[in-house]
Amino acid sequence: MDVEAHNFNQPISAIIHQILSPLLGGTTDDQVVETNVEKLSKVLDVYEERLSKSKYLAGDFYSLADLHHIPYIQYFTKTPKASRISSLPHVKAWWDDISSWPASTKVIEGMTFGGKA
């Protein structure tokens, strides 16, 4: 969870904020998006390596380390940059798994991105 808090949340939240900015009357700063996609890609590459050795981030058990990723990744998958998740086979398998849990699907159903589910 420490990695998520210090390395994952900052770039992914910046990307989502920038992409949603026009919906809030602002403009998207493409340079901010690209800079943070680069940062996020480095974290996702580490996740890919980690997930090649275990089913979940903290080992072979589902934990808060996985759970905390659901909101931001759900929003991220609705952006034009979503292929960064789907292009990494272990990250994609992990995301498909954790996002399909009944509790996750219930939460995801209520999440909207720019007014759309």
Residue 117, domain member (yes or no): no
Task: Report yes or no: 76 and 15 within 8 Å, Cβ to Cβ.
Answer: yes
- 116 occurs within a structural domain: no
Residue 6 vs residue 94, higher pLDDT = 94
115 located within any domain: no
Give the domain CATH number at 43. 1.20.1050.10
**Tens of pLDDT, residues 56-78:** 999 999 999 999 999 999 999 99
Q: DSSP string spanning 60-110?
A: SS--HHHHTTHHHHHHHTTSTTTHHHHTSHHHHHHHHHHHHSHHHHHHHHT
Spell out the long-range contacts of 26-34 with Cβ–Cβ below 8 A and sequence spacing 24 or more: 33/81
pLDDT at 99: 96
Is residue 98 situated within a structural domain?
yes
Is 102 within a domain? yes
Averaged pLDDT, 30-36: 97
Mean pLDDT of the chain: 91
Tell me, rounded to whole angstroms, the distance of Cα 49 from its chain centroid: 16
pTM for this predicted structure: 0.88
- Residue 28 has φ and ψ, to the nearest 5°, of -85, 130
Domain that holds residue 64: 2-109
Query: pLDDT-based confidence at 7, cuts 50/70/90?
Result: confident
Instruction: Please compute the mean of the pLDDT values over residues 104-114 and round it to a whole number.
Output: 83
Residue 99 lies in a domain: yes
Pick from 82, 86, 85: which is nearest to 113 by CA?
82
How large a percentage of the chain has pLDDT more than 90?
76
Q: How many domains does the chain have?
A: 1
User: At which residue do the structure tokens 């999440």 appear?
Assistant: 111
Would residue 6 count as lying in a domain? yes
CA 43, CA 1: separation in Å to the nearest integer?
13
User: Averaged over 93-106, what is the pLDDT?
Assistant: 94
Residue 51, pLDDT above cutoff 70: yes
Which residue, 116, 41, 111, is CA-closest to 82? 41
Q: Is 79 inside a domain boundary?
A: yes
